[in-house]
Amino acid sequence: MLSLRSWLLSFLVTLFLLSISTVADESTIPSDASSTPAAASAAGDAGGEGVVDMVKRLVKAGLNGQTTDVEAQKEADLKDGIVRLTDENIDEVIQGGSEDDVWLVLVHGLPTELESSKVVEVHKNTSILAKANTLRTEFKFARLNYVDEWKTCSRWMLFKPPWLVIITDKGEKLRFVRGNQIKTDPEILWTIFEKGNWDTAPLWESEWAKGGNRAWLIELYIDLTARITKYTARIPKWPLMILVSWAGQALLQWLHRPRTPAPPAPGTPAPGRITITPEQKSAAHRAALKKKQDQAGSASGSRSAEGKKDK
């Protein structure tokens, strides 16, 4: 078991790392991300809050981790005219449309994530170009928050944003494009969609996909996680971090504990020690010396015999 000093040390280190990560996430917003609507709205709200409100927000983030600014997210979606998808409404929205609808769903992270913020901006500007083309009304633009909508992201097996998900046939067909594969120029990206080149992306037809042989495992994972979250949602994250850190240290100490030899089986005689007396040691030395001399003499005799034979 860990000593009290080790436990206190791990506690302090965990709190220190948590405070650093929280302050960095909350107060350091990349300059490139400030141009996005969500980041600009969040920065505007933070700028207008008082000192007490700011302290409350930082303390809440430190205890429970960084979360989504829902109000800023709503304002950004309304301003950009882009649909917000959630775990609760995604089936209704996607299946309630037309068979010809092509949904371009951007799965993004928090506004403080630089890569997600860049792709959000490209996605928004591409939607503006699409709305300007009144002849191509089948393209629908939507956003899905990776941090909050974990059930949908689990069903799609997405582990890190951003992703562009192309949904057709009322959700029956899915295509995935990684964030680093998305064109950063909105005009080029819209040209790809307008000319129909988007269908060159491979369909997701894995065993883990909807209707696949292993899809039930994902649903089981979602159900179990939801049940656990139901009881742990009210617990702040920092006690869980301390508990995990303590358990990890205890496991490492147990794995690196000194190994004790197994006791001998019942009835097994104990191994005896071999002792050599000085007389035995001296006799063995004389025998080895005599053997060496005999070998040297035999070798000398064979050489003299060979010399006589040559003569």
* Chain segment 208-228, per-residue pLDDT in tens: 998 899 999 999 999 998 888
Q: How many CB atoms lie within 10 A of CB 143?
A: 23
pLDDT tens per residue, range 11-42: 555 544 444 443 333 333 333 333 333 333 33
3-class SS of residue 109: coil
Q: What is the CATH number of the domain that holds 159?
A: 3.40.30.10
- CA–CA distance, 70 with 277 (Å, rounded to integer): 88
Q: What pLDDT does residue 48 have?
A: 44
Strand partners, 102: 139
| Structural contact between residues 140 and 129, judged by C-beta atoms closer than 8 angstroms | no
| Structural contact between residues 96 and 83, judged by C-beta atoms closer than 8 angstroms | no
Residue 81 domain-assigned?
A: yes
pLDDT tens per residue, range 182-211: 988 999 999 999 999 999 999 999 999 988
| Structural contact between residues 105 and 144, judged by C-beta atoms closer than 8 angstroms | yes
Residue with the larger pLDDT of the pair 75 and 274 = 75
Residue 85 domain-assigned?
A: yes
Tokens found for residue 152: 């949908």
- CA–CA distance, 123 with 38 (Å, rounded to integer): 13
Q: What pLDDT does residue 159 have?
A: 86
Residue 262 domain-assigned?
A: no
Q: What is the mean pLDDT of residues 272-289?
A: 75
Domain that holds residue 241: 4-248
Length in residues, the chain: 311
Residue 45 domain-assigned?
A: yes
Q: Is the pLDDT at 49 greater than 50, yes or no?
A: no
- pLDDT over 70, % of the chain: 67
Q: What is the mean pLDDT of residues 86-111?
A: 94
Q: What is the mean pLDDT of the chain?
A: 76
Q: Omega before 162 cis (within 30°)?
A: yes
Number of domains within the chain: 1
Crossing angle between the packed helical segments 51-64 and 4-27, to the nearest 10 degrees: 130
Residue 263 domain-assigned?
A: no
The DSSP annotation for 209-235 comes to STTSTTHHHHHHHHHHHHHHHHHHTTS
Residue 201's closest CA among 188, 187, 182, 218? 182
Residue 235 domain-assigned?
A: yes
Residue 144 domain-assigned?
A: yes
